[in-house]
């Protein structure tokens, strides 16, 4: 497996701010850990939510994040597997430990933009086949 990127990744989420009768969408600085690997003939993109992220979560920004990553790293979405990862470090302020999860997110792609996300929990055998475990 060839590693292409493995570091902190900044993205801009969005939030709606209400000014009386008017709503305005404003950018929200956000970050996650991002790992991109090439495995066989496809790319594996793993975005891990970090407890230090005070912006938009990887789940709420999934379309924005997938679109930005695909464009920035010149990835063909039809050959790319997008995975959301949550671990104990994802929830810095929680008192109890949470189960580590990996969810594959599939999108509808139109004009280079991701939309209509669908999530599916990955099983250990699938994680192994993607070279994650």
d(CA 35, CA 30): 16
d(CA 24, CA 90): 29
Q: Which two tokens stand for residue 28?
A: 């929200």
What is the overall mean pLDDT for the chain?
A: 89
Q: Which pLDDT does position 16 carry in this prediction?
A: 63
Residues 6+ apart with CB under 8 A from 111: none
The model's confidence at residue 129, banded by pLDDT at 50, 70 and 90, is confident
23-35 pLDDT per residue, tens: 667 778 999 999 9
48-107 pLDDT per residue, tens: 999 999 889 999 999 999 999 999 999 999 999 999 999 888 876 555 566 789 999 999
d(CA 63, CA 71): 12
For residue 113, pLDDT over 70 is answered with yes
Q: Which domain holds residue 21?
A: 2-129
Q: Which pLDDT does position 116 carry in this prediction?
A: 97
More confident residue, 115 or 22: 115
pTM metric for this prediction: 0.88
Tokens 């060839």 sit on residue: 2
The model's confidence at residue 121, banded by pLDDT at 50, 70 and 90, is very high
Are 30 and 61 a contacting pair, CB within 8 Å? yes
Structural domains of the chain, count = 1
Task: Give the SS3 label for residue 74.
Answer: coil
């Amino acid at each position: 497996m060839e590693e292409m990127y493995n570091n902190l990744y900044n993205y801009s989420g969005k939030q709606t701010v209400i000014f009386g009768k008017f709503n305005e969408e404003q950018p929200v600085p956000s970050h996650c850990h991002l790992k991109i690997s090439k495995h066989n003939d496809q790319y594996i993109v793993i975005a891990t939510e970090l407890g230090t992220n005070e912006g938009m979560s990887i789940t709420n920004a999934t379309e924005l994040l997938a679109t930005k990553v695909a464009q920035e790293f010149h990835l063909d979405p039809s050959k790319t597997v997008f995975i959301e990862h949550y671990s104990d470090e994802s929830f810095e302020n929680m008192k109890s430990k949470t189960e580590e999860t990996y969810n594959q997110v599939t999108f509808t792609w139109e004009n280079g933009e991701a939309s209509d996300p669908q999530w599916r929990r990955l099983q250990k055998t699938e994680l192994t086949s993607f070279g994650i475990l």
